[in-house]
Chains A and B, each alone.
Chain A
Amino acid sequence: MSANKTKLSKSILEMKFMKRTKEKVEKQQFQEEGEEYFGNELTERMKKDSERFIIEPSYIFCEKLIDGRVSFQGMNPEIERLMEEEQKNECVKAKEKEETDISDEQMAQNWKNYRKMTKTERRYEKSLEKQNNDIEPLSKKPKFLKPQY
């Protein structure tokens, strides 16, 4: 590829007005050198890498497993306190979800509509204003009214 392209000579690149181009050429050269150097280390697999997959090596996430430390009926009060706390947190989370009777999707949809409405409304209002101005222009320029004490 580089053979086809005409290369700028060194002396031209050294000129003052060629500063930017020089930087660009140097950068390109650096890139090419890097590719040459590491090219054979890039495997076929790395080239085909896609972002579609996440690897999760633990079952804990896949099966939603609990921590393996449990205590019941006062055998270890400390652990039981922690378990209770966790349960409370979960309850709170569940409640928060319940409290919002409008789902996030609905809300988003609603907002979208609202935005559209306002846009059209604004246009409508603008046109109305114009019309009003056309029909009955202000008869007089409003005068300054002296405040009365």
Chain B
Amino acid sequence: MEVSVGDVVMPGDTVKDITTITKKETIILGPGLRREADTVYAYKAGVLKKTEPAVYYVDSYQKRYVPNRGEHVVGIVTQKGGDIFKVDIGASEQASLSYLAFEGATKKNRPDIQVGDLVFAKLLVASKDMEPELVCVDSHGKEKKLGILSSEGMLFSCSLSLIRKILNHNSPLFNMLAHSQAFEVAAGMNGRVWVKARTIQETIAIATAILAAEYAPLSGIKKLCSDIEKTLLLTQSGNVD
């Protein structure tokens, strides 16, 4: 079936807009679309979207993470031994993380990482035939936002579409929540979110807010945040009594 932007697409559908465009313009095919000669087929079910200038992709609901190069993920260290750590990132295979891929790490000065630790890392290699490889430094050898996540936080999983929703640069969720409380978040593209706030109650509140945002429209997020704020205040006053 032929589909156009904004339609619900199923795997196998051809994208009408692209086949009819004759303009010599480079088209970027995002996730969910693949090309066979000059026809473009969808291979995921979802809504076909287009962003300017000519970026087409399928916005789909998905829980299974498929690694992509350059994405940030939250992983759990599962194995330690030799030169690499094995890290579970929720993909079909465990990723490897070299002990040298940390800021300031040398052969003598190894990073202090135990099995079970959480790391926020970047995917350096992500190919369908190979084991994914992580790094915790940028190209200048600086840690920046990557690295080990402290054990005081809380980790939970959610769908990949929710991650995309909260990480969208137009998403008001984090800024709204920041009005009332201090918190820290590491959200990986693999559907894992690590949250840390001052108290356990606050941490749970943030986590709830993020999970509740999945089904809230953009306009409803403000109400959602204020609701959570109110409940938090009530429980805190209850604890004091």
Q: Do A60 and B184 have beta carbons less than 8 Å apart? A: no
Q: Are A45 and B37 in touch, CB under 8 angstroms?
A: yes
- Provide the bound-state CA to CA distance between A75 and B174, in Å: 13
Proximity string of chain A (34-75) to chain B, C-beta cutoff 8 Å, 1 when within and 0 when not: 000000000001001011111111111111111111111111
B145, A79: Cβ atoms closer than 8 Å: yes
Q: Which residue of the partner chain B has the closest CB to A73? A: B182
- Which listed residue, A57, A59, A70, touches B164 by the CB 8 Å rule? A59
Contact B28 A68 (CB under 8 A): no
Out of A45, A48, A59, A70, which one reaches B184, CB within 8 Å?
A70
Known: A45-B36, A53-B26, A61-B30. A66 touches B167 (CB 8 A): yes
Q: Using a Cβ–Cβ cut-off of 8 Å, how many residues does chain B contribute to the interface with A?
A: 49
B177 near A57 with CB under 8 A, answer no
Q: Which of A61, A71, A82 contacts B183 (CB 8 A)?
A: A71
Interface size on A, residues (CB 8 A): 31
When chains A and B are docked, how far (Å) is the Cα of A56 from the Cα of B56? 10
Instruction: Answer yes or no: B188 CB below 8 A from chain A CBs.
Output: yes
Q: Does B97 contact A (CB under 8 A)?
A: no
Interface status of B57 (Cβ within 8 A of chain A) = yes
Binds A, one of B65-73, B79-87, B110-118: B65-73
Interface membership of A11, Cβ < 8 A? no
B152 to chain A, nearest CB (A): 11
Interface flag for A76 (CB, 8 Å): yes
Is the C-beta of B95 less than 8 angstroms from some C-beta in chain A?
A: no
By beta carbon, the residue of chain A nearest B146 is: A69
The proximity string for B residues 134-176 relative to A, scoring 1 for CB distances below 8 Å and 0 otherwise, is 0000000000111000000000000000011001110000100
**Which residues of A lie under 8 Å from residue B182 when comparing CB positions?**
72-75
Q: How far is the CA of A12 from the CA of B219 in the complex (A)?
A: 84
**Complex partner residue of A62 from B24, B55, B146, B174, CB under 8 angstroms:** B55
CB-based contact B51/A58 at 8 Å: no
User: Is the C-beta of B31 less than 8 angstroms from some C-beta in chain A?
Assistant: yes
Given known A62-B51, A64-B169, contact A48–B37 (CB-CB < 8 A): yes
CA distance A64 to B57 in the complex (A): 13
Q: CA–CA, A73 to B179, complex, Å?
A: 9
Q: Does B27 contact A (CB under 8 A)?
A: yes
Distance between Cα atoms of A69 and B177 in the complex (Å)? 15
With known contacts A64-B168, A68-B186, A56–B145 Cβ distance under 8 A: no
Q: Quick check: B174 and A67 within 8 Å, CB to CB?
A: no
A63 to B182, CA, bound (A): 27
Question: 7 tightest A-B contacts by CB?
Answer: A68-B187, A73-B182, A72-B178, A69-B145, A62-B30, A58-B68, A48-B37
21 A-B contact pairs sorted by A residue (CB < 8 Å) = A45-B36, A52-B26, A53-B27, A53-B40, A54-B28, A57-B30, A58-B68, A59-B31, A60-B71, A62-B51, A63-B57, A63-B164, A64-B51, A65-B164, A68-B187, A69-B186, A71-B184, A72-B183, A75-B183, A75-B196, A79-B145
Contacts A57-B31, A82-B144 known; 18 new A-B pairs at CB < 8 A: A48-B38, A52-B25, A52-B26, A52-B27, A58-B68, A58-B69, A61-B28, A61-B30, A62-B55, A65-B169, A68-B167, A70-B174, A70-B184, A70-B185, A71-B185, A72-B178, A74-B182, A75-B183
Chain B residues within CB distance 8 Å of chain A? 24-31, 34-38, 40, 49, 51, 55, 57, 68-72, 74, 120, 144-146, 163-164, 167-169, 174, 177-178, 181-189, 193, 196-198
